[in-house]
Amino acid sequence: MSVDTLYLVCHTNDIGRDPTHHNPQMTITATKPEAFTLPASIKNHFESAIRQEMVLTAFNTCNYLSKTYVRQELPRRFQLPLFCSGTYSAGMDRKLLAVNLRTNIVEEAIEFQQAKAVKTLEKKINQGLKDGETITDVELHVDDQNMISGTVSGEGFSLTVKSIWNYRYGENSANGILTVYAQTRVNRKDA
């Protein structure tokens, strides 16, 4: 493999592994701007949190609409969000009979938000790297307040990472369910 085609070199080494740390030691050589990728445990947690919040929000919205509008007189310009479908009565007195969650639309929105959020975080960390640098240690963790923090370091440098994510819901979101907004700060220290 040539250096031109090499995007990520990752070596795990169980020797010298910290028993309290869940990730083995890694070496990542930055040969392209997108050299850093999130460790699987951090990525999985991040994606899982996004999935859970989006599913709950979509379900709760459909549930609210069902409780509020089923078998009731509908407002003049009533319209269900894209991720909900409805069954209506026939005739002059049109009434909503049921509200259902469109799981395929919700799933597409989830996958898009997950990919965008992960890519944004990785991009911010990659912006702190210089071409040719080798990452020797990744110490990132997730706390229960939607924050990823820690360090990404190598020979002669250390990146301190703090990333918090929050959500915009419903009409305030880009997709009608929720949109993930990650705010990331990466501070670089050279040795």
Q: For residue 139, give both structure tokens.
A: 């110490």
Helix (H, G, I), strand (E, B) or coil at 26: strand
pTM over 0.85: no
Residues facing residue 158 across a β-bridge: 153, 189
Helix (H, G, I), strand (E, B) or coil at 144: coil
Report CA 47 to chain centroid distance, whole Å. Answer: 5
**Angle between helical axes of 40-69 and 103-127 (0-180°, round to 10):** 140
Q: What's the pLDDT tens digit per position in 88-127?
A: 998 888 899 999 999 999 999 999 999 999 999 999 999 9
Q: For residue 55, give both structure tokens.
A: 């599913």
Indicate the domain borders of the chain: 10-190
> What parts of the chain have a pLDDT lower than 70?
1-34
